[in-house]
Amino acid sequence: MNLDDGCCSIHTGPMQIADAFVPVMDPLGEALHFLRMNGVFYCRSEFSAPWGVAMPPIEGCLMFHMVTSGPCWLEVEGVEPQRLAPGDFALVPHGAGHRLVSGPGEAAAGLFDLPREMLSERYEVLRHGGGGAATGLICGAVRFDHPAAHRLVQLLPPVIRMDAVDSPQAEWMASTLRFMAAEARAMQPGGETVITRLADVLVIQAIRAWMARDPAARKGWLGALQDRQIGRAITLIHREPARPWTVASLAAEVAMSRSAFAARFTALVGEPAMQYVARWRMHVALTLMQEKNVRPAELAGQLGYQSEAAFSRSFKRYIGMPPGAARRARGAVAAGLGA
């Protein structure tokens, strides 16, 4: 196989790539499976009207807000203000700055300008307001590290709101929120881990609810995942990024002719199959460098490149920076966010 960067036969190396990507039963389930969050910070908020908090933009993070008591409004630029009631769950997926306020247009103080009680390195209690009607929230900023999760999150709308009262899952969602609120108040040993895992479930459910109701979720890459044959091909690429894929071998795996497969893959995904394979390998490499500290030279051999230089050229083309700079960048970002 030739990806015009000196890439030839694939050598699978010592199980690092296989360990990083766990097989699942269906393509869409795979994307959701990899939505494992790493918390940047969590906050239990106790507000009293009038109040307002301006959340700063946090690049690469998804922010969520769960209302435990009282009302509030969520204001995101370019989106109609959302009134949130107890039991509602809102996602701001792209790290955009936004405001939480007691009423539309209420003045908002910057999050980091307000006094807070630190319960742990990543967990705090925020109290703010003028002494009127009370509102309680649990908020968080989380990061997704897996490339499949990044691809999915990029396709989400600016805001996803899940109304627990009207949801078919209202009962278990309400129970989950109560459990999270109790953990947030008590902060027993392991409390942050419990909150993170419960937030995993709520975030995934919110995304599933959006996919079920929004036609946009059935287009592009998400639509391709839901196509029986192209979705299976994407799953195979994700599971076995080091395999020496060709258009012909992928087509054979999903029982299609080479020409029909190539045309449908490009139409649904938005890029040719082998370009997707190359791009996916570079995201795999990025994840392994940042999360498992694998050296670029080692990854070059595992992904079948004839030299580290050829691997580096391909990496820079798809990721936008040299491998060494990308490996260092995650540490700098983590340090800046207190991770």
Q: Are 41 and 146 in contact (CB under 8 A)?
A: no
Q: If pLDDT is split at 50, 70 and 90, which confidence band does 54 have? A: very high
Let me know whether 248 and 110 are in one domain: no
Q: If pLDDT is split at 50, 70 and 90, which confidence band does 318 have? A: confident
- In sequence order, the 6+-apart residues with CB closer than 8 A to the CB of 166 are none
Is residue 4 in some structural domain?
A: no
Above 50 in pLDDT, residue 170?
A: yes
Q: Give percent of the chain with pLDDT exceeding 90.
A: 30
Chain Cα centroid distance, residue 164? 22
CATH number of the domain to which 315 belongs? 1.10.10.60
Let me know whether 203 and 305 are in one domain: no
Is residue 28 in some structural domain?
A: no
Number of domains in the chain: 2
- In sequence order, the 6+-apart residues with CB closer than 8 A to the CB of 133 are 48, 49, 70, 71, 102
pLDDT digits (tens, 9 = 90+) for 146-156: 666 777 788 88
pLDDT digits (tens, 9 = 90+) for 248-268: 999 999 999 999 999 999 999
Let me know whether 208 and 264 are in one domain: no
Q: Give the range of the structural domain holding residue 315, as residue numbers without chain letter.
A: 16-21+241-337
Picking from 126-130, 237-241, 259-263, which range would have the lowest pLDDT averaged per residue? 237-241
Mean pLDDT of the chain: 80
Let me know whether 196 and 316 are in one domain: no
Let me know whether 306 and 206 are in one domain: no
Is residue 221 in some structural domain?
A: no
In 197-214, which positions are buried (b, 16+ CB within 10 angstroms) versus exposed (e)?
ebbeebbebbbebbbeee
CATH number of the domain to which 166 belongs? 2.60.120.280
Residue 22 has, within 13 A of its CA and on its CB side, a CA count of 8
Q: If pLDDT is split at 50, 70 and 90, which confidence band does 184 have? A: low
Is residue 220 in some structural domain?
A: no
Give the angle 261-262-265 at the CA atoms, nearest 5°. 80
Query: By three-state DSSP, how is residue 194 classified?
Result: helix
Is residue 228 in some structural domain?
A: no
DSSP string, 250-267: HHHHTT--HHHHHHHHHH
pLDDT digits (tens, 9 = 90+) for 79-93: 999 999 988 889 999
One-letter amino acid at 125 equals V
Is residue 301 in some structural domain?
A: yes
Residue 7 DSSP class: B
Nearest to 82 by CA among 177, 141, 163: 163
Let me know whether 55 and 148 are in one domain: yes
pLDDT recorded at residue 145? 66
Let me know whether 202 and 76 are in one domain: yes
Let me know whether 201 and 262 are in one domain: no
Question: Which residue do the tokens 């999150």 mark?
Answer: 153
Query: For residues 20 and 141, what is the distance between their CA atoms, to the nearest angstrom?
Result: 24
Let me know whether 207 and 61 are in one domain: yes
Let me know whether 92 and 154 are in one domain: yes
Above 80 in pLDDT, residue 169?
A: no
Instruction: Mark which of 197, 215, 233 sits at the end of a domain.
Output: 215
Query: By three-state DSSP, how is residue 162 classified?
Result: strand
Is residue 7 in some structural domain?
A: no
Is residue 245 in some structural domain?
A: yes
